[in-house]
Structure 1
Amino acid sequence: MFDHECAFLIANDRADLARKIEWTSQEHGDGAGYDIRSYAPDGRERLIEVKATRGGPTTDFFLTRTEREVSLERPDAWRLYRLHDLPKTPGLFQLKPPLEVAVNLSAETWRARF
């Protein structure tokens, strides 16, 4: 998706912004609430969380608490890029907050503390 974002910005005459894209999860590790910091052609920041599955477009996927929190705190910037049917015939669509409009969210794990 990093290369996709770069190509998108270059195709929109924004090579300057393409050079600023950050693969956050690779450079700083998971935990930021998104994988890629990119930009729209008009310069607005985009925070992209990528979710990929081998199954079809309606296959369940997991969202972390931090990812959900960032989606709520930055709904204007945060996007979920949903890759599906990997690796055979990949498809892609985007979800934007509020996520509950498109998907049902349910807690699947619990933290146990002492």
Structure 2
Amino acid sequence: MREGVLYLGGKCQKIGGGLGRKTNGLVRRRGSGHCPELLGDASTRGLGPAICEKPFQDLEYRRLTKAGKSKLAARIDHVSQTDGDGRGFDILSFEENGKERLIEVKTTRSRAETPFFVSRNELKVSKERAEIYHLVRVFNFGHAPGWFPLSGSLDATSVLEPNDFTALPKPA
């Protein structure tokens, strides 16, 4: 892949000024002026997840508008903001043919290889709608941010390890 290209959901999106390199089999993409929220200062405490999701909503909007699909672009929904965080994805977008595209954004200040938490619902939605599900992993947030996609079912694209349990006291 060329410098300045974001690979998301099987298609290359030109973002300008980026840098791609391989590390442990992952292709890293560095952010650019097109996503200023990702280039913010190192102190991001107190900022909600929307600051990491909004650049990808904007990227989807630009992709569809550039393709002459402004009606589809106008229908993009930042569902984690409009409906809450329970739908299993953060952004409802569309392919150029009108097919839905579900985007979940996971962010860390650490390296690309840092494990991330996945809710039971996110896993369920990724399995049920694998053909349209895209997790975007943002890493080095606040430093030299980059991102890469995991498209499809999370159990096919990630190593999943159980993390927590729900406990119900036993009857006496």
Same fold flag (TM > 0.5): yes
TM-score range, shorter chain: over 0.9
Counterparts of 1:113 and 1:97 in 2: how far apart (Å)? Answer: 33
Q: 1:87: Cα distance to partner?
A: 1.5
Q: 1:27: Cα distance to partner?
A: 0.5
Structure 2 gap segments, 5+ residues each: 1-55
In the superposition, the TM-score normalised over structure 2's length comes to 0.63
Cα RMSD (Å) of the superposition?
1.3
In the superposition, the TM-score normalised over structure 1's length comes to 0.92
Q: 1:55: Cα distance to partner?
A: 1.1
Of 67, 77, 87, which residue of structure 1 is paired with 2:142? 87
2:77 paired residue number:
22
Residue range with higher mean Cα deviation, 51-60 or 97-106: 97-106
Whether 2:130 is the aligned partner of 1:75: answer yes
Which structure is larger by alpha-carbon Rg, 1 or 2?
2
Residue range with higher mean Cα deviation, 24-33 or 102-111: 102-111
Matches within 5 A, 1:98-109: 98-109=153-164
Contact 2:132 2:152 in 1 (8 A): no
Q: 1:57: Cα distance to partner?
A: 1.2
Deviations 1:53-112 (A, max 9, x none): 111211111000000000000011111011111122111211022334432101111111
Q: 1:24: Cα distance to partner?
A: 0.5
Structure 1 gap segments, 5+ residues each: none
Q: 1:10: Cα distance to partner?
A: 1.2
Q: How many residues are matched?
A: 114
